[in-house]
Amino acid sequence: MNSVRSSRPVAGFIGDVLVPRATAVALWAWVAFNLALVAWVGLQSLKTSGDVWLSPFSLPSSLEWQNYSSAWQAAQFSRAALNSVLLTAVGAFLIVGFAAPAAYVLARSSRRIAAPLTSYFAMGMSIPLQTLIIPVVVVKLSLNTFMVDWVTGWWDDRITLLVFEVALSLPFAVFVLTGYLRSLPHEVEEAAELDGAGPLRSFVQVIVPLARPGIVTVLVLNVIGLWNSTLLVMVIAPGEDERTLPVALLHLYGTMQYSSNWGGMFAGIAILVFPMIVLYLWCGRRIIEGMTAGIGK
């Protein structure tokens, strides 16, 4: 009995003190590793190819800013950047525009079908994109043929890409916003109804401002996802004038490995990755607030 009693304080000390500290140390170590990796990529982008190979962990002997211009020109980043900006901006706007009303209905509905529908959106998040490639290609070809032969006489695969990006991003957006909207009190809508506001006006003028942290979270996460989208772009819009920055970066890799311009290769990576890192650091606190507000609802 004495040995059992003496073991309980030790187990409690391990569970209450050592485990949280070990978890915190592991998380900070992971953060430090990622920050060091980002800084290392930035340093490599300012080196010559010889310095990249001979002294990969040292400071640049001279700042080779022309790596960025050579990477921009070799990968034709101008058109790719325009495609990425348009796809990301329009896609993120449409995702939030469709997801917010749908989440509001699911969060406030008292019908039995609301809970199963929310579960279906959660299930949609678990479907791997790779399993949808063949159906995506079939739908793309059918849509292209239908629009060209029967409707407009022309069609752009970038429109098809936008449709699929929005459709595949909606489950996550609706699921997150549903949880966040459920955390908002019903009294604010009741007060708006007493002032004569209908459901649409209450949603636009009351709920949307209150749900701004959740909407910003969904917006930023979808911006990052759309900006980094690669596989879907390669399947739907593989043309040279249709490619986005990630696909152009793959093309840059094929070019730079034969010209041995490794500094330019790292510069291309920096052009693609660094804007999203800055965006995430800028909105990081709002993202965390939006992701955690609806937990348990």
Give the residue from 224, 223, 270 showing the smallest Cα distance to 249.
270
pLDDT value at 262 more than 90? no
Predicted model pTM = 0.80
pLDDT digits (tens, 9 = 90+) for 82-98: 999 999 999 999 999 99
Q: Give, in order, the Cα–Cα distances in Å from 157 to each of 51, 77, 81, 138, 286.
A: 41, 19, 17, 13, 34
pLDDT digits (tens, 9 = 90+) for 114-157: 777 777 787 878 888 888 889 999 999 998 888 888 887 888 89
Reading the block at residue 148, the tokens are 């060209």
pLDDT digits (tens, 9 = 90+) for 191-231: 877 777 777 888 888 888 888 888 988 998 899 899 989 89
Q: Give, in order, the Cα–Cα distances in Å from 249 to each of 151, 152, 229, 264, 289.
A: 35, 33, 12, 11, 33
pLDDT digits (tens, 9 = 90+) for 44-73: 988 888 888 888 888 888 888 888 888 888
Q: What share of the chain in percent tops pLDDT 70?
A: 88
What residues contact 41, with CB distance under 8 A and at least 6 apart? 266, 269, 270, 273
**Residues 290 and 213 sit within 8 Å (Cβ to Cβ):** yes
The rounded mean pLDDT for the chain is 82
Cα–Cα dist 227/34, whole Å = 20
